[in-house]
Amino acid sequence: MIYSNNPRPESLKSLSDVIHIPFWLDDPAKPNPEPLLNQNIATDLLVIGAGFAGLWTALLAKEENPARDVVLLEAGEVAIGASGRNGGFLDASITHGFLNGLSHWPGEIAKLHELGLQNLHEIEATIKELGIDCDFQLTGEIDIATEPYLLDQFREFIELAKPYNIAYEYLDESQLQRVVKSPIFIGGLKRLDSAIVNPAQLAWGLRRACLAGGVRLHENTPVTKLEEQDKTVLAHTPHGQVRARRVALATNAFPPLLKRISYYVVPVYDYVLMTEPLTATQRESIGWQGREGLSDGNNQFHYFRTTADGRILWGGYDAVYYWNNGFGPQLENRPASFARLAEHFFQAFPQLEGIRFTHAWGGAIDTCSRFSPFWGTAHHGKTAYTMGYTGLGVGATRFGAQVMLDLLDNNKTERTALEMVRTKPLPFPPEPLRSLGVNLSRWSLDQADRHEGRENLWLKAMDRLGLGFDS
C-alpha cells in the first residue's frame, strides 16, 4: 500500500499538545553547559563542534596520547545538532548501508563492512567500559515492505550480500507480524548489525568522559573564522581566540568554516514525532515486544523504534531542502511534515488511533552525493574535516573521527588507504541548479515509490553519474 498524504482531522488532533523540543534533549539529566571561552589560549588539538564526531575525536585523541592538550569548542551545547535529535539507530554500516557501499566501492566493500562491525563493537565496549547509561540495545533492524515489489528487492539484496557473509534474514508476512502487527506490513528483511540508543544520553556520556580525560570544553562558543598563521591555525570566537597546532572540524550540516565544504554538503531537514508512552493494551495491540529498529524499504522511508519508557519514535519520509543551503532553528518546525507523519503513523498502526504525540522536531542532515562520509584537509594539513554522513552518522562518526586523527597526525593506516577515504563525492552545482536538481530528485524518488520502484530518466542518469539525493 502507498501512504496517503492527506492528514485526517484525527491525525491533526493527535498533534495538538506537542512541544517543539527534541524528545532526547527534554531530559532532566541534561548537563549544565561548560563556561564559554573568554580568553586567548593555545592547544595541540582544537576540535570544533561537539556532536558525536567532535566528541569521539576529542576522546580518542586523549586516549591515544593523554599528554596531548585538547580543546573542544561548541557553538551551542553538546548534542544540540543532529546528535541530539536523531532516531538513535546505531548502525554498523559506515557506507550508508551495504548496497550503497557496494555500488561505490565494490572492491572494498568487504573491508568496509568489517571495519563498520569493528566500529560498532568498539562503541559498545566503550559504552560498557565508561558505564554510559544510554539504553544501548543490540537489537538488529528490520526493513519493512508495504508493497510486493519490495519483497523481490529484499530477496535480491540477500543474494547480493551472500558472498560477503552478511547475515540477512527474510521475514514473510506472518513472521513479520509476529514481531510487529500492522495491516500494511507484508514482509521484512532483518539484519543484526544494528543497535538502538538514546543519542543524547550517549553524547552526554562521551562529554563526561572527555571532561574526565582532561579535554577543555567550552560551550556557547561559536568559531567565526579560521586563519592559517605559520605553523598554527588561529580560531576566532566572540570572546577569545585559540591558537592550535591542529584543528579537527566536526560541524556537520552547519554553515561551514571552509568554503570548499559547501560544494559537497547540502543541509536537508528531516522531521520526527514521539508518542506518549503506550498503555499495556496499546502495546499488546501492536505486538513489538522486542526493541528492534524498524524502517520502510521505500525511497521515502519512515524509521521507527521504541524508547526505554515505552513510546514510539516515528520519523523520516519528508526530506526538505531549503533554497541556498537554508539553515536555522526556524526550519526545525514544519507543521505540514508533522501532519503527514502523524497521518502515516495511523495508517501503519490504526489500532493506536487516539494516542497523542508529545514531541515534534526537525534537524538538518549533512547530505552528500554519495550518501556516505568524506574527509579532507586544509591549511597545509593542519586542519582536517569529516562530514557527509547523510542520515547515518550515529555510529559512523566514530570511524570518521579516527580517520580525521590519522590525517592530522599524518599516520598512514588501513583506514587512510581506503578509496572511500581518499576520494570525495561529486560536488553539487550552485543555485539555482542546486535547488532544481535536489527537488527534481526528490519528486522522482516519490514517483518511483508510487510506481513499484521504477526509476525515471532523471534518476537513471543520476545513478550513472554516481550522484544521488537522500536524507
Residue ranges in contact with ligand FAD by CB under 6 A? 48-54, 73-76, 80-83, 85-89, 91, 222-223, 250-252, 254, 257, 270, 272, 303, 315, 363-365, 389, 391-395, 397
- What does DSSP assign to residue 254? S
Q: How far is the CB of 148 from ligand FAD (least distance, A)?
A: 27
Contact 72, 58 (CB under 8 A): yes
Spatial CA neighbour of 243 closest among 251, 255, 234:
234
- Judged by beta carbon, residue 54 or residue 151, the one nearer ligand FAD is 54
Burial 240-274 (b: 16+ CB within 10 A, else e): bbbbbbbbbbbbbbbebbeeebebbbbbbbbbbbb
Of the pair 218, 459, the CB lying nearest ligand FAD is at: 218
Minimum CB distance to ligand FAD, residue 69 (Å): 18
Q: Which is nearer to ligand FAD, 62 or 218 (CB)?
A: 218
DSSP states of 155-189: HHHHHHHGGGT--EEEE-HHHHHHHB--TT--EEE
Mapped onto helix, strand or coil, the DSSP state of residue 309 is coil
Considering the complex, what minimum distance in angstroms separates the CB of residue 42 from ligand FAD? Answer: 18
Expressed in angstroms, the distance from the first to the final Cα of the chain is 22
Residues 6+ apart with CB under 8 A from 456: 444, 447, 448
Q: Least Å distance between CB 432 and ligand FAD?
A: 25
To ligand FAD, the closest distance from the beta carbon of 292 in angstroms equals 13
Q: Cell triple for residue 375?
A: 574527509
* Residue spans of beta strands (DSSP E) within 67-178: 70-73, 89-91, 141-145, 168-171
The nearer residue to ligand FAD, 282 or 337, going by C-beta atoms, is 337
Residue 471 CA to residue 29 CA, distance in Å, equals 29
Between 204 and 282, CB nearer to ligand FAD: 204
- Smallest distance, Å, CB 52 to ligand FAD? 4
Which CB atom, from 70 or from 75, has the smaller least distance to ligand FAD? Answer: 75
| 430 backbone dihedrals φ, ψ, rounded to 5° | -70, 170
70: left (phi over 0), alpha (psi -120 to 50) or beta: beta
* Nearest residue (CB) to ligand FAD, 50 versus 342: 50
Strand partners, 90: 195
Which residue lies nearer to ligand FAD by CB, 186 or 210? 210
For residue 279, the minimal CB distance to ligand FAD (Å) is 26
Distance of closest approach, residue 372 Cβ to ligand FAD, in angstroms: 11
| Residue number, 109 or 250, with CB nearest to ligand FAD | 250
- CA 467: distance to chain centroid? 19
Q: How far is the CB of 159 from ligand FAD (least distance, A)?
A: 26
**Which residues, 6 or more positions from 370, have their beta carbon under 8 angstroms from its beta carbon?**
100, 104, 388, 425, 426, 466, 468
